[in-house]
């Protein structure tokens, strides 16, 4: 029963977030939407920020479970975009609130996971020195995070994957020019449609 009530609170809160900005939602409003009293809310959540964090963490865990492996740099951004798009209005209402840092924390975590997963799958331990691997992972993690943050700051109006796809192509060319060879499918700039 306790888990059912907790899930119902989260579902009610998500419904309210789809309709209005976070700063307009109160514990009382969530409790009324859920059909419980305020004490029941506080039994499950310390306060509204705790509820926000659990909602974001649930979405983060769900998106990571859907992508156990990453095949390309392009897919790295796609995973992060999917995280934000799952509940677009909810994501924007949280992102444009005082809880932006919390949302960005989980966004950063997703970017780190997908980029690290990609490099682990694509390059063996002997192909890249540990220091080089860490530098590349940090670079591409920042790239994904920056692209996504810029997209959210703009209201998620366009599709960031198209420009990121182009960036992948440009980076791939740079990688090939620098390293030579035919590592089309493996370079940090490789894109999903070239892995054939």
DSSP string, 52-91: HHHHHHHHHHHHHHH-SS--SHHHHHHHHHHHHHTTHHHH
CA atoms within a 13 Å half-sphere pointing along the CA-CB vector of 25: 27
According to the model, what pLDDT value does residue 1 have? 55
Pair (101, 12) in one structural domain: no
According to the model, what pLDDT value does residue 78 have? 85
According to the model, what pLDDT value does residue 191 have? 42
26 Cβ contact list (under 8 Å, min separation 6) = 48
Pair (26, 55) in one structural domain: no
Pair (113, 72) in one structural domain: yes
What CATH number has the domain bearing residue 34?
A: 1.10.10.60
Pair (52, 102) in one structural domain: yes
C-alpha span between 77 and 125 (Å, rounded)? 24
According to the model, what pLDDT value does residue 180 have? 63
Q: Specify whether the CB–CB gap between 140 and 114 falls below 8 A.
A: no
C-alpha span between 123 and 60 (Å, rounded)? 26
Pair (36, 56) in one structural domain: no
Pair (101, 139) in one structural domain: yes
Pair (100, 32) in one structural domain: no
According to the model, what pLDDT value does residue 87 have? 83
Pair (145, 176) in one structural domain: yes
pTM given for the model? 0.73
Query: What is the mean pLDDT for each group of 10 consecutive residues in the chain (196 residues)?
Result: 86 93 94 95 94 89 83 81 84 90 90 88 79 91 90 88 80 74 46 38
According to the model, what pLDDT value does residue 186 have? 43
According to the model, what pLDDT value does residue 128 have? 80
Pair (36, 103) in one structural domain: no
According to the model, what pLDDT value does residue 75 have? 84
Concatenate the DSSP letters of all residues of 167-192 into one string.
HHHHHHHHHHHHH-SS-TTTSTT--G
Concatenate the DSSP letters of all residues of 89-156 into one string.
HHHHHHHTSTTHHHHHHHHHHHHHHHHHHHHHHHS-TTTS-HHHHHHHHHHHHHHHHHHHHHHHHTTS
Comparing C-alpha atoms, which of 185, 180, 190 is closest to residue 136? 190
According to the model, what pLDDT value does residue 138 have? 94
Structural domain range at position 157 = 48-194
According to the model, what pLDDT value does residue 185 have? 42
Task: State the greatest distance between any 2 C-alpha atoms of the chain, in Å, as a whole number.
Answer: 66
Number of domains in the chain: 2
């Amino acid at each position: 029963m306790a888990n059912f009530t907790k899930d119902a609170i989260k579902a009610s809160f998500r419904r309210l977030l789809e309709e209005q900005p976070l700063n307009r939602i109160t514990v009382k409003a969530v409790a009324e939407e859920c059909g419980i009293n305020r004490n029941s809310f506080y039994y499950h959540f310390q306060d509204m920020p705790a509820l926000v964090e659990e909602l974001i963490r649930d979405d983060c865990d769900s998106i990571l479970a859907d992508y156990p492996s990453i095949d390309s740099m392009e897919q790295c951004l796609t995973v992060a975009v999917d995280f934000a798009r799952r509940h677009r209005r909810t994501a924007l209402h949280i992102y444009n609130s005082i809880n932006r840092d919390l949302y960005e924390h989980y966004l950063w975590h997703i970017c780190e996971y997908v980029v690290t997963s990609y490099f682990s799958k694509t390059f063996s331990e002997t192909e890249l020195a540990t220091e080089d691997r860490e530098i590349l992972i940090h670079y591409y993690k920042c790239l994904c995070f920056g692209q996504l943050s810029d997209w959210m700051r703009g209201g998620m109006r366009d599709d960031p994957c198209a420009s990121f796809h182009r960036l992948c192509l440009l980076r791939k060319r740079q990688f090939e020019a620098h390293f030579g060879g035919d590592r089309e499918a493996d370079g940090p700039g490789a894109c999903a449609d070239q892995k054939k």
